[in-house]
Structure formats: structure tokens, C-alpha cells
Amino acid sequence: MANTEEEKNVNQEENAQTENEKITDEQAPEINNDSTEELTKEEQLEIEVKEAKDKYLRLYSDFENFRKRTQKEKLDLYKTAGEEVITALLPVIDDFERASKAMQDAKNIDSVKDGMKLIHEKMLSILKQKGLEPAKSQIGEPFNVEFHEAITQIPAPSKKEVGKVIDEVEKGYSLNGKVIRYTKVVVGQ
């Protein structure tokens, strides 16, 4: 009986091992399926990373091209920015050349003065059309650093003129409301 009980125990152990082996064999395909799914997930992630890198490189190169193009356009704009004004001033240059030829043969100085005055007015009107405006005379007005450049200070003739503009040495100009040359003034102290 002992042998039969031992045989039963051995048979039960063998059966248990074979069942365990069956379970592990049944689970093994699941594990293998999981690992293949993980591989496909890993492959998918790798593909997504490659696509993201590709998109990044394309965007980066597009941005670099855009940056280079805008820099080139800026340089071209700086080179030709004054073209319109210069083209508008060419007739004035022509007038000056004609006036200089006429001055060589002129016997009447008054006609030369009148011609120069006309050319000066023509030039000022062209520049005014382009937005240039001369600063108004500021003599007697308080010194203002936004419009004036003090080149010297002199003793004021009266107490009322202390800190005020006494004389203008050079006229100031603004272009479309922005001061491009400050009026050079003498200030009383």
C-alpha cells in the first residue's frame, strides 16, 4: 500500500507538473503575443519619433529659409530706400546744372538770384511732399531737449531769457513727425 500511495503521490506530482507545464505553455503564447505587441508598439513609437524629427527638421529649415529671405529683403530695402526721394530730386539737379551754365553768361545778377530762389523753392516743395518739414523758429521759447541741441550757452541779456533759446544756428527738420535733425541753438544762462 505504501507503494501505491507513493505511486499515487508521484503520479499526482507528475500530473501537477504537466498541468503547470500546460499552463505555462498556454501562458507562453500570451507572453509572446504581449512581446510582439510591445515590439509593434515600440516600432510605432520609433516611427512616430522619426516622423516628429522629420517635421522638426523641415520646420527648422523652413524657418532658416524665411530668416535668410527676410534679411536679404531688408538689405535690398536699405539699398533702395532713398530711390524715390532721389528720383524726385533729379529735376532739381538738372535745374542747378542749367542755372550754373546760365550764371557763366549772365550779366544781370538779379535774374540769377531769382533762378536760384525758384530752384530752392522747388526742392523744398518736393521734400515737403515726401514728409520733410522744417522746425518752426524757437527763438524766445524755453529750451527743449526733444527738439533742440544746445551748442553753446551765453549770458542771458535779461532774466526772462534764462533757459530760453536766444539764437538758432542751424534749422531742425522732422520727417513724418519724427525729428531727424535737431535745431542747433544758443541758450541763455
Q: What is the rounded distance in angstroms from the CA atom of residue 184 to the CA atom of residue 148?
A: 6
Interacting residues of 174 by C-beta distance below 8 A, sequence separation 6+: 132, 133, 135, 180
Query: Does 96 have pLDDT greater than 60?
Result: yes
> pLDDT-based confidence at 5, cuts 50/70/90?
low
Residues 94 and 18 in one domain: no
Q: What is the rounded distance in angstroms from the CA atom of residue 46 to the CA atom of residue 138?
A: 74
Structure-model confidence comparison of residues 20 and 73, the more confident one: 73
pLDDT in tens, 22-39: 444 444 444 445 555 667
The fraction of the chain above a pLDDT of 90, given in percent, is 49
Residues 25 and 45 in one domain: yes
Query: What confidence score (pLDDT) does residue 21 get?
Result: 52
| pTM score, whole prediction | 0.56
Structure-model confidence comparison of residues 17 and 60, the more confident one: 60
Residues 135 and 95 in one domain: no
- CATH number of residue 138's parent domain: 2.30.22.10
pLDDT in tens, 133-172: 999 988 989 999 999 999 999 998 888 889 899 999 999 9
Residues 4 and 68 in one domain: yes
Domain count, the chain: 3
Structure-model confidence comparison of residues 31 and 95, the more confident one: 95
